[in-house]
């Protein structure tokens, strides 16, 4: 049997050809320039917009450090994890963050996105979700903040580390990793 006739007769060719997105010249111009993504060692994350459209005064300052010890190169050790809420520092014990490594902070210049037309900025903001960095979200009742940070794992996998921190300083940490086979 002729393979081309078989594939075109079953519709496989039509599916594979239609799977690739076709961008207009304007859309291609208004997408992230991945060469401008910066890897940072120090970063201050601000809380995202709440459901009522406000921005809360919650900030997380992180600092990453690379270590070379005993012939091993360990990258992305978390050396600073400071949360401030309405100008007041919330003390977070080291046991909730000091054992983490292989973390990355990637950022993109907001000035690049600001030069695009307003109706196209949503596309760029959606692409920014792929960057690895801490993200903060305030709960609906305003009593806790959720911090999420994606981390690369072996075998081209990833996991998400999450902290839920109350205004009084109670901390919970969770790490989610999807099942994968190497």
Mean pLDDT comparison of 23-37, 59-73, 96-110, highest-scoring range: 96-110
At 18, the pLDDT band (50, 70, 90 cuts) reads very low
Give the residue extent of every domain in the chain: 3-177
Q: Which residue has the higher pLDDT, 157 or 7?
A: 157
At 8, the pLDDT band (50, 70, 90 cuts) reads very low
Average pLDDT, the chain: 79
Q: What angle do CA 148, 132, 120 make, to 5 degrees?
A: 100
**φ, ψ for residue 48, nearest 5 deg:** -70, 170
Mean pLDDT comparison of 73-77, 80-84, 116-120, 176-180, highest-scoring range: 80-84
- The label of the residue with tokens 């991945």 reads 34
- Please state, in angstroms and rounded to a whole number, the distance separating the CA atoms of residues 66 and 164: 26
Report how far apart the first and last C-alpha atoms of the chain are (Å, whole number).
Answer: 36
- Please state, in angstroms and rounded to a whole number, the distance separating the CA atoms of residues 107 and 113: 12
Overall average pLDDT of the 119-139 stretch: 83
Q: Which residue has the higher pLDDT, 156 or 25?
A: 156
Q: Is the pLDDT of residue 53 over 90?
A: no
- pLDDT for residue 70: 66
Q: Is the pLDDT of residue 50 over 90?
A: no
């Amino acid at each position: 049997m002729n393979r081309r006739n078989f594939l075109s007769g079953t519709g496989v060719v039509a599916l594979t050809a239609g799977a690739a997105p076709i961008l207009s010249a304007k859309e291609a111009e208004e997408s992230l320039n991945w060469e401008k993504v910066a890897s940072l060692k120090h970063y201050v994350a601000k809380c995202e917009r709440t459901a009522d459209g406000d921005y809360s005064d919650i900030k997380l300052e992180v600092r990453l450090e690379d270590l070379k010890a005993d012939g091993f190169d360990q990258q992305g050790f978390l050396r600073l994890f400071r949360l401030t809420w309405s100008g007041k520092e919330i003390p977070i014990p080291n046991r909730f963050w000091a054992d983490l490594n292989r973390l990355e902070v990637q950022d993109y210049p907001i000035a690049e996105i600001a030069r695009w037309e307003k109706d196209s900025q949503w596309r760029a903001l959606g692409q920014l979700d792929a960057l690895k960095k801490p993200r903060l979200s305030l709960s609906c009742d305003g009593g806790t903040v959720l911090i999420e940070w994606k981390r690369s794992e072996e075998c081209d996998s990833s996991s998400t580390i999450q902290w839920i921190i109350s205004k009084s300083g109670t901390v919970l940490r969770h790490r989610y990793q999807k099942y994968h086979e190497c």
